[in-house]
Amino acid sequence: MAAFVRHFMPRLPQRVRVNLNAITEDGLVRIRGTHFEQPVRPGLLVRIFEPIDEIEGFATVARVNAQTGLVYLDVAWDSLQDSAPLHLACALDATAATARPPQRIGEPRLLTASW
């Protein structure tokens, strides 16, 4: 009889959109509580992302203001990284023409590409 072992997979912290420019005087990032899908409490670890700058990282909830509905996050600034892959142009068959190098700044260089 085979024994089945259940592996515990921890849930990832919930992901919330932030504006990293909304910093308070004490260095916390302010967001609306409506950005959260689950109840929020101080000490909660969250994944943050800023779509404009395409960065993401982690933060902990520092405090919650129930009257204003604002949540203040303590961002782990060293955890921030690019969230989108680099946009690379496809240049499989592009080769530089055997033209002489530019003689002066701003002189165009010819490139050829075969598709």
What pLDDT, on a 0 to 100 scale, did the predictor assign at position 93? 45
* CA separation for the pair 18, 54 (Å, rounded): 11
Q: Which two tokens stand for residue 74?
A: 């303590």
Which residues sit opposite 30 in a β-bridge? 72
What lies within 8 Å, CB to CB, of 62 at 6+ separation is 28, 42, 72, 73, 74
Q: What angle do CA 38, 72, 74 make, to 5 degrees?
A: 100
What is the reported pTM? Answer: 0.63
What pLDDT, on a 0 to 100 scale, did the predictor assign at position 44? 93
Taking only the tens of pLDDT, the chain with its 115 residues reads 556 666 666 677 889 999 999 899 999 999 999 888 888 999 999 999 998 888 999 999 999 999 999 999 999 999 999 876 544 444 444 444 444 544 555 555 555 555 5
What pLDDT, on a 0 to 100 scale, did the predictor assign at position 16? 93
**Scanning the structure block, which residue is given the tokens 């919650």?**
64
What pLDDT, on a 0 to 100 scale, did the predictor assign at position 11? 74
What pLDDT, on a 0 to 100 scale, did the predictor assign at position 92? 46
Contact between 47 and 12 (Cβ < 8 Å): yes
